[in-house]
Amino acid sequence: MFSLILQSAINFFLMVVSDLHEQSFDTCLLVVPLATGLMHFFQAPNTEGLGQAAIFLAVLVWLAFTGKMGSGDVWHFLLLSLNFSCPVAVKSFLLASLLAIAHALWHKRPGKEPFAFLPYLFWGLNLQFFL
């Protein structure tokens, strides 16, 4: 079990690094985190914030279909919800959004320019454990 969790963490990190450099990642990196997330969810179901996360996920899927967000970001949010908890995933996403906005304002980035969002999700996840 520990090796699966370690493999899942490595896959999360590889997704972030790949998204940072190429703004995409291999779909095969989703398999292990999805398996560990589903095992975690079905062994100890945590329904706290499930409705909130479902609504948030629906908005993210809509944003992905309209081209305003990549589908990898939606997958990463789903994996965060399964591997941690729904409130952790929503807080991570909101912190990541604030970090991305602050970074865009600081560097005066044009609004229509695409950028990698998974690194912000990574820092949003880590930051929320320190706040």
Which of 24, 123, 22, 39 is CA-nearest to residue 75? 24
pLDDT in tens, 41-74: 778 766 777 777 788 888 888 988 888 888 888 8
Let me know: does 3 contact 106? Beta carbons within 8 Å: no
- As a whole number of Å, the CA-based R_g of the chain is 15
Q: What is the distance between the alpha carbons of residues 95 and 112, in angstroms, rounded to a whole number? A: 21
Cα 40 to Cα 1, 63, 66, 84, 86: the distances in Å are 11, 27, 31, 9, 13
Q: For a pLDDT cut of 70, what percent of the chain falls above it? A: 93
Which of 34, 131, 41 is CA-nearest to residue 74? 34
pLDDT in tens, 107-129: 887 767 778 888 898 889 888 88
Let me know: does 20 contact 119? Beta carbons within 8 Å: yes
Q: What is the distance between the alpha carbons of residues 22 and 124, in angstroms, rounded to a whole number? A: 20
Model's pTM, two decimal places?
Answer: 0.79
pLDDT in tens, 81-108: 888 888 888 899 999 999 998 988 888 8
